């Protein structure tokens, strides 16, 4: 039913419209007075889980270490210069940006590609 914006809506009209709207949903069930359901803890046997020893991490080669140092260290250096407000040499900002770009490009170039037959996530 379209609403006429010029029509005055009183509280009684609003209540009647709401009652018409929710009339098809049926009566609400009344809660049973005096019945309180409380979950009780069940005494279950305690199982002790011992995880297996994790495999050692593979060694990281030197190129990846330098690439990550550039990716993380370049923005950190710029942030440190900005937060301290110190006068940095003119070559420091381009060096930080260049370290980030070079590190990012190295990590992308050395990244493992996806298997063309794989249709799932790379984990």
Helices (H), 23-121: 62-84, 92-110
Residue 122 pLDDT class (50, 70, 90 cuts): low
Taking each helix axis as running N to C, give the angle between helix 92-110 and helix 62-84, from 0 to 180 degrees, rounded to the nearest 10.
150
Quickly list DSSP for 105-122: HHHHHHSPPPPTT--S--
Dump strand ranges (E) for the chain.
none
The pLDDT, as a whole number, for residue 29 is 66
Residue of 28, 33, 4, 30 whose CA lies nearest to 17: 4
Query: What pLDDT digit, counting tens, does each position of 21-35 carry?
Result: 877 777 766 767 777
Answer with the residue of higher pLDDT: 119 or 55.
Answer: 55
The pLDDT, as a whole number, for residue 81 is 87
The pLDDT, as a whole number, for residue 53 is 93
What share of the chain has pLDDT > 70, as a percent? Answer: 82
- Say if residue 18 is exposed, middle or buried (CB neighbours under 10 Å; 0-12, 13-18, 19+): exposed
The pLDDT, as a whole number, for residue 102 is 96
* Domain definitions of the chain by residue range: 62-110
């Amino acid at each position: 039913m379209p609403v006429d914006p010029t029509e005055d809506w009183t509280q009684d009209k609003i209540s009647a419209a709401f009652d018409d709207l929710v009339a098809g949903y049926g009566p609400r069930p009344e809660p049973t007075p005096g019945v309180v359901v409380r979950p009780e803890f069940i005494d279950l046997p305690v199982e002790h889980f011992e995880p297996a020893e994790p495999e050692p991490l593979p060694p990281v080669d030197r190129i990846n270490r330098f690439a990550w140092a550039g990716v993380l260290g370049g923005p950190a250096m710029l942030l440190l210069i900005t937060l301290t407000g110190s006068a940095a040499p003119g070559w420091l900002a381009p060096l930080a940006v260049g370290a980030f770009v070079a590190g990012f490009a190295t990590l992308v170039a050395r990244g493992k590609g996806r298997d063309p037959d794989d249709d799932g996530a790379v984990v």
